[in-house]
Amino acid sequence: MHRLRRLLPKFPRHLIALMALSLGLSSCVAVHYPVTPEMAANLKPGEGLIVATFSAKSFTRSGETIAGSGRAQVNVKKEDTGELAILIPHVMPVNRNPYLMGGGNASEVVAIPVPAGNYSITGWTIQDQAVTASVTFSNRLPMNVPLQVRPGEATYAGRIHPVSIYGKNIIGMRVPGQAFVIITDEYAEDASKISKAYPSIRRASIRKSNVAEDYKKEMIRIADTPSKFLGLF
């Protein structure tokens, strides 16, 4: 705290305190990202894998398919420890954030080694690039989509579809207007893709889950929940 105050003398005291608390909390929570096939082949005792595929789409408001700029992620949280697994369409040679710490190789197939246990999908984020800044979209309300990972097995989390819809600003330049994430069950096709991209994951060891159906129920629940009026009700 004293070091923060020396470095940031003009910040209000309560903001410095919040920053210190945030740094302390983040340092206590393990975060896991998609890894290379070589890393996925070396599971530790008690670990399993979360596997998924990505299929991103971007459209104009008139329905024209375009090349989007969105970066998507789905957040998965371990129920007992709070550890996070971040599903993103990138693989890393080391366990680090591919967006903030050095890029990462794009891949439509991902695998994340995690401690076995009960997890839950808690939300998603899509960041699209506008003309002068980025725009971030996320789930409006918290969600809870259960996902169980067993030791030595790969649990299929579904096919993740980040969707971005672009409009135009007052001078006619294309800008992001809406975004959302859909998850579908394409197990029959994706299991083969996953085992091909990650040779150490046998197709027979990829276990189906009910994520796609439970995720759809949560999306419907959120859509049917009225927005709060000015955050008051």
Ordered per-residue pLDDT tens for the chain, 233 residues? 344 334 334 434 433 333 333 334 444 689 999 999 999 999 999 999 999 999 999 888 888 888 777 789 999 999 999 999 999 998 876 566 666 655 678 889 999 999 999 999 999 999 988 777 788 999 999 999 999 999 999 999 999 999 999 888 878 788 888 899 999 999 999 999 999 999 999 999 999 999 999 999 999 999 999 876 545 54
pLDDT at 216: 96
Q: Are residues 130 and 204 in the same domain?
A: yes
Q: Are residues 200 and 95 in the same domain?
A: yes
- Using CB atoms within 10 Å of the CB of residue 155, give its burial: 0 to 12 exposed, 13 to 18 middle, 19+ buried: buried
Q: Which two tokens stand for residue 118?
A: 């009960």
CB 26 within 8 A of CB 18: no
Q: How far apart are CA 57 and CA 71, in angstroms?
A: 11
Q: Are residues 106 and 6 in the same domain?
A: no
3-state secondary structure of 177: strand
Q: How many domains does the chain have?
A: 2
Q: Are residues 93 and 205 in the same domain?
A: yes
Q: Which residues pair with 129 in a beta bridge?
A: 134
Q: Are residues 13 and 74 in the same domain?
A: no
Which structural domain, as residue segments, surrounds residue 7?
A: 1-25
Closest CA to 138 of 83, 193, 183, 72: 72
Q: Are residues 12 and 124 in the same domain?
A: no
pLDDT at 97: 65
Q: Are residues 2 and 59 in the same domain?
A: no
Q: Are residues 69 and 104 in the same domain?
A: yes
Cβ within 8 Å of residue 137, ≥6 positions away: 125, 126, 127, 128, 176, 178, 179, 180
C-alpha 194: how far from its chain's center?
A: 18
Residue 82, domain member (yes or no): yes
Q: Are residues 124 and 171 in the same domain?
A: yes
Q: Are residues 164 and 91 in the same domain?
A: yes
pTM over 0.85: no
Closest CA to 50 of 87, 79, 99, 75: 87
pLDDT at 191: 96
pLDDT at 169: 80
- Produce one character per residue of 16-48: b if its CB has 16 or more CB atoms within 10 Å, e if not: beeeeeeeeeeeeeeebbbbebebbeebeeebb
Q: Are residues 1 and 88 in the same domain?
A: no
pLDDT at 99: 62
